[in-house]
Amino acid sequence: MDFAFNEEQTMFQQTTRQYLQSKGDLAIPRNYMEGKQEILTQLWGGLAELGFMGINVPEQYGGIGLGHLSILPILEEMGRAVIPGPYPETVAFAIPLLNEFGTEEQKKRYLPDVASGKTKFTLAIIDDRKNQLKADLQGDNYVLNGAKILVAHAEFADLMIVAVRTGASNQDVSLLIVDHQLHAECQPVKSIDETRTLFTVSFSDFLVPKENLLGQESAGDQILKAGLNELTAAWSATMVGGMDRVVDMSAQYVKTREQFGQPVGRFQAVKHKVVDMLLALENARSLSYYASWTVENKAGDTFEAVSMAKSYNSEAFIRTANANIQNHGGMGFTWEFDCHLFLKRARSLENYLGSPQEHRENIAKESGWNKEKVLQYNK
């Protein structure tokens, strides 16, 4: 047993932190919010140079061939600086799904380019209620009509993995690798979290070659479940980074800000609140490590472990980000100070990939607190 980062993880963490600091740290999301989107291209190039785009890409496709636990420290660091961009979607969704379900053809076509930083992925899984996305197979192509909403970073990603209805029943879901940059209509929507740009992506008679099907036709639900598990673990890890940062910010600020002739951090109403934040962070970190460990080791309780991390961490992130604003007084309410970046990121992640309540329903299901179990118990 060993529950802390190993040398390699520590190295990834330190390298990421140094790199992000050299690029301006919180100035990165700030610049992005102000429309200087080239910062993202630069950042991506730098990450690829460090080898961070190919950590979990197998060696024969130009990567390092490690697992999810090795990207965990990088994700935390990105959360610490509210980094924009579809890094989790690319490394914790597209890469593992290509590794596991991709054809040899697809692996050769995409993985080396992902590892070199050339190709970025996002995903489109939520249907527009009024315009559900459907795909009809006609000859060698799927013909797509309909729209997906809340697609993150459609402007920056080169490709997206799209969940489409390919049959009559609700279960007939398939995953397609789609080059949306061709001529899908990407309409940005405004979100309070301006570090994650969201789009409505509409397709009309949009052709996707049959060979872009990821996994079997109509097996999309299962594949999606595996992929979303890993992606959810990844986003939970970024929340740990965010919480780590707000605890730091609060501790630093209340040590130096003086009122009534003393640092406000001496008042227990403030001091103890920072401790509560720290305790929440400790819990979140533990659940995140465990979830990532189950993902990498394909443990039997992966689904539950991930739901524990996501439900706890998203609520704890909001709580600590709230407290961080309060601890900074009027300063915390300003646009200029960084407190709000974390609050907004926390809110935009709260219900992304499942609300805390839904994840707790998963925990209940996985724990067997359902009818059958109880009937058995009573017998």
Partner 1 sequence: MDFSYSESELLFQTELRTWLEENLPEGWLDGNRNIPADNKGKGEFLRDWQRKLSEGGWAGISWPVEYGGRGATLIEEVIYEQEMARVKAPPVLNIIGTAMVGPTLLDIGTEEQKEKYVRKILNGEEIWCQGYSEPNAGSDLASLQTKAVKQGDKWIINGQKIWTSYAHLSDRCFLLARTENTGKKHEGITAFLVKMDQPGVETRGIRSINDQYDFNEVYLNDAVADDADIVGEVNNGWKVSLTLLSHERVGVARQTFRLQKQFDELVELAETLEKNGRPLILDPIVQQNLAIFRAKTKALLFSYYRHLTNSIRTGKPGPEGSMDKLASSELGQEMLAYAMSLQGAENTLWKEDALVDASWQRDYLRSFGYTIEGGTSEIQKNIVAERILGLPKDIKK
For partner 1, the binding residues (CB under 8 A) are 1-6, 9, 69, 247, 251, 254-255, 262-263, 265-266, 268, 271-272, 274-275, 278-279, 282-287, 289-290, 293, 297, 308-309, 311-312, 357, 360-361, 363-364, 367, 369-371, 373-374, 377-378
Q: Which is nearer to partner 1, 20 or 72 (CB)?
A: 72
Q: Which is nearer to partner 1, 1 or 182 (CB)?
A: 1
Task: Please name the helix (run of DSSP H) or strand (run of DSSP E) that holds residue 204, with its range, or none.
Answer: strand 198-209
Q: Which is nearer to partner 1, 15 or 116 (CB)?
A: 15
CA angle 14, 20, 21 (to 5 degrees): 90
Q: Which is nearer to partner 1, 107 or 271 (CB)?
A: 271
Smallest Cα–Cα separation from 68: which of 279, 288, 266? 288
* Alpha-carbon separation of residue 201 from 54, 146, 154 (angstroms): 28, 9, 8
Q: Which is nearer to partner 1, 166 or 292 (CB)?
A: 292
Provide the minimum distance between the beta carbon of 94 and partner 1 in the complex, in angstroms, as a whole number.
24
Q: What is the residue-wise DSSP string for 362-379?
A: HHHHHTT-SHHHHHHHH-
* Beta bridge partners of residue 206, listed in sequence order: 144
Q: Which is nearer to partner 1, 123 or 318 (CB)?
A: 318
With b for 16 or more beta-carbon neighbours within 10 A and e for fewer, the 319-351 pattern comes to bbbbbbbebbeeebeeeeebbbbbbbbbbbbbe
List, in order, residues 6 or more apart from 9 with CB less than 8 Å away: 69, 70, 72, 73
Q: Which is nearer to partner 1, 134 or 266 (CB)?
A: 266
Provide the minimum distance between the beta carbon of 237 and partner 1 in the complex, in angstroms, as a whole number.
13
Provide the minimum distance between the beta carbon of 376 and partner 1 in the complex, in angstroms, as a whole number.
10
Q: Which is nearer to partner 1, 192 or 275 (CB)?
A: 275
295 touches 233 (CB < 8 A): yes
The phi and psi torsions of 243 (rounded to 5 degrees) equal -65, -40
Positive/negative CA dihedral, 155, 206, 220, 67 = negative
Positive/negative CA dihedral, 134, 224, 281, 251 = negative
